[in-house]
């Protein structure tokens, strides 16, 4: 029986210790799934393109200079690409395919993102990969899925495309004539990553139980579409199409964003009992029939009057005053936080949401730590982001069984 290579992680930690993932996608929708697993103890090997790596995501948006001053690295890359091994490989070359099949034998999950058929044309069909490792879980992430109407399967998809085609963007924003608004930042991509991770781990659990792997088909638009609550039941039942309503709830109040004297807050009062508490804060009698009607008839005269009274009360006070008084009355309320607010907030600090770590490219940085927290097997950060191909020799010699000479030869040929 072939022995599985031992882990190269400095130590075993987290609830996913012992799980080994090879990830070969680009940008966000799939690689973020692997990155989350890595923070929970999985051993993740991220494959990038030879030479340039995942050039767009490594350098998209605001960047920080590397410690040697030779390059710059995107802050999103620094935040999201921690705890992983990084190698390069050209799948389009036969030798690259052969190296991948050797590598995948020692892995539990392969995650990738591409248009359907990309790996097939390189000889890496699902059947060929599963023949190399019958217990492997293969997770394909794409915009429109691996099957379906032929006119859609080859189409490119990015975050905003997924939000639009999946139905989220039509409901996000304020009513016409204001345009639909995409949710930030890269919400469709991050949601797709979460679907990729949970479904891959579900497949892994099944493979551990049965000894047989399988293929998971994750489409970006379906991940978004799954989160639309009762939208489609409403349509199929009575032809109702949900429209944009801004921040307001449509069936009760208050549930909206409100401007205080020095910033913005959100207030949520779900149910008559909580609405009554808001009334008391405003000096209104919650037993009065007009205010009870106002709680649910938000567009009626009483509803409009109540909204105006609440907005006036909030506008006369600071954010801090509004938050303290409404929460003291057991009414849900919080500031709309920006980066500075979150960095300085005592609750964020008390929960150690923001931590420092050593990035292998830019040095000491501070950002968001590992979440959620586990009492017995917590996740951790053991490594920051690394340059392109940083771990080629170590990974390919240890997990794929190549010699140093073979790695050097394949590097010279542009395969690695």
Q: By residue range, what is the domain housing residue 44?
A: 20-227+353-412
Q: Mean pLDDT throughout 3-12? A: 94
Considering the domain architecture, whether residues 386 and 330 belong to the same structural domain is answered as: no
Considering the domain architecture, whether residues 202 and 332 belong to the same structural domain is answered as: no
Other CB atoms closer than 10 Å to residue 186's CB: what's the count?
A: 21
pLDDT tens, position by position, 303-353 = 999 999 999 999 999 999 999 999 999 999 999 999 999 999 999 999 999
What is the pLDDT, as a whole number, of residue 13? 98
- Residue 333 placed within a domain: yes
User: How many domains is the chain built from?
Assistant: 2
* CATH code of residue 65: 3.40.50.10540
What is the pLDDT, as a whole number, of residue 2? 63
Average predicted confidence (pLDDT) for the chain? 95
What is the pLDDT, as a whole number, of residue 265? 98
Q: Which residue has the tokens 């542009």?
A: 414
Domain boundary among 312, 337, 362: 337
- Residue 199 placed within a domain: yes
What is the pLDDT, as a whole number, of residue 1? 47
Considering the domain architecture, whether residues 128 and 193 belong to the same structural domain is answered as: yes
pLDDT tens, position by position, 22-35 = 999 999 999 999 99
- Residue 13 placed within a domain: no
**118, pLDDT greater than 60:** yes
Other CB atoms closer than 10 Å to residue 185's CB: what's the count?
A: 11
Domain boundary among 308, 337, 366: 337
Domain boundary among 337, 364, 393: 337
Other CB atoms closer than 10 Å to residue 270's CB: what's the count?
A: 12
- Residue 218 placed within a domain: yes
- Residue 344 placed within a domain: no
Report residue 299 as tokens. 């567009």
Considering the domain architecture, whether residues 41 and 176 belong to the same structural domain is answered as: yes
DSSP 143-209: SS-SSS-HHHHT----HHHHHHHHTHHHHSSPSTTSPP---TTTHHHHHHHHHHHHHHHHHHHHHHH
Considering the domain architecture, whether residues 29 and 155 belong to the same structural domain is answered as: yes
DSSP state of 280: H
Considering the domain architecture, whether residues 77 and 217 belong to the same structural domain is answered as: yes
pLDDT tens, position by position, 364-382 = 999 999 999 999 999 999 9
Q: Mean pLDDT throughout 389-400? A: 96
Q: Mean pLDDT throughout 56-70? A: 91
- Residue 247 placed within a domain: no
pLDDT tens, position by position, 249-271 = 888 999 999 999 999 999 999 98
Report the predicted TM-score, pTM, of the whole model to 2 decimal places: 0.93
- Residue 73 placed within a domain: yes
Q: Mean pLDDT throughout 137-150? A: 95
Q: How far apart are CA 151 and CA 146, in angstroms?
A: 12
**362, pLDDT greater than 90:** yes
Considering the domain architecture, whether residues 63 and 164 belong to the same structural domain is answered as: yes
- Residue 231: band (very low, low, confident or very high) from pLDDT cuts 50, 70, 90: very high
Is 189 marked active-site?
yes
Considering the domain architecture, whether residues 109 and 210 belong to the same structural domain is answered as: yes
Considering the domain architecture, whether residues 165 and 207 belong to the same structural domain is answered as: yes
pLDDT tens, position by position, 95-107 = 999 999 999 999 9
Residues of the chain by 3-state class (helix, strand, coil), percent to 5: 40, 15, 45
Considering the domain architecture, whether residues 326 and 361 belong to the same structural domain is answered as: no
Q: Exactly one of 54, 108, 189, 256 is catalytic; name it.
A: 189
Q: Mean pLDDT throughout 51-66? A: 92
* CATH code of residue 315: 3.30.1540.10
Considering the domain architecture, whether residues 305 and 405 belong to the same structural domain is answered as: no
395 to 87, 131, 136, 264, 306: CA distances (angstroms): 7, 22, 19, 50, 64
**384, pLDDT greater than 70:** yes
Considering the domain architecture, whether residues 97 and 131 belong to the same structural domain is answered as: yes
CB 197 within 8 A of CB 208: no
- Residue 383 placed within a domain: yes
End-to-end CA separation in angstroms for the chain:
29
**244, pLDDT greater than 60:** yes
């Amino acid at each position: 029986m072939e022995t599985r290579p031992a882990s190269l992680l400095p130590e075993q930690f987290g609830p996913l210790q012992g799980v080994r993932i090879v990830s070969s996608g680009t940008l966000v929708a799939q690689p973020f799934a692997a990155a989350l697993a890595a923070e929970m103890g999985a051993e993740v090997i991220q494959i990038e393109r030879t030479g340039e790596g995942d050039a767009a995501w490594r350098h998209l948006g605001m960047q920080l200079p590397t410690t040697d001053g030779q390059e710059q690295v995107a802050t999103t890359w620094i935040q999201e690409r921690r705890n992983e091994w990084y190698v390069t490989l050209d799948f389009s070359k036969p030798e690259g395919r052969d190296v991948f099949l050797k590598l995948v034998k020692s892995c539990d999950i392969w995650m990738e993102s591409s248009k359907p058929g990309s790996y097939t044309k390189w000889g890496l069909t699902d059947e060929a990969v599963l023949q190399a490792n019958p217990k492997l879980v293969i997770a394909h992430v794409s915009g429109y899925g691996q099957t379906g109407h032929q006119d859609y399967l080859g189409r490119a998809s990015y975050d905003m495309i997924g939000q639009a085609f999946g139905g989220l963007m039509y409901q996000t924003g304020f009513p016409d004539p204001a345009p639909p608004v995409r949710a930030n930042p890269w919400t469709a991509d991050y949601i797709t990553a979460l679907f990729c991770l949970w479904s891959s781990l579900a497949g892994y659990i099944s493979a551990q139980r049965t000894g047989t792997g399988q293929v998971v088909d994750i489409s970006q638009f379906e991940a978004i579409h799954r989160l639309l609550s009762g939208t489609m039941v409403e349509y199929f039942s009575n032809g109702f199409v949900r429209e944009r309503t801004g921040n307001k709830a449509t069936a009760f109040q208050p549930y909206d964003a409100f401007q205080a004297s020095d910033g913005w807050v959100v207030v949520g009062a779900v149910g008559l009992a909580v609405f009554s508490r808001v009334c008391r804060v405003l000096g209104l009698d919650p037993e009065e029939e007009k205010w009870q009607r106002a709680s649910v008839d938000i567009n009626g005269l009483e509803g409009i009057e109540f909204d105006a009274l609440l907005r006036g009360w909030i506008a006369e006070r600071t954010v801090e005053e509004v938050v303290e008084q409404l929460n003291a009355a057991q009414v849900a309320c919080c500031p709309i936080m920006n980066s500075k607010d979150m960095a300085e907030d005592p609750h964020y600090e008390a929960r150690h949401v923001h931590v420092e770590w050593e990035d292998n490219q830019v040095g000491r940085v501070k950002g968001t730590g590992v979440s959620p927290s586990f009492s017995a097997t917590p996740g951790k950060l053991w490594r920051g982001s690394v340059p392109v191909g940083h771990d080629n020799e170590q990974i390919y010699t240890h997990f794929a069984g190549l010699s140093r000479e073979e790695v050097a030869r394949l590097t010279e040929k542009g395969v690695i």
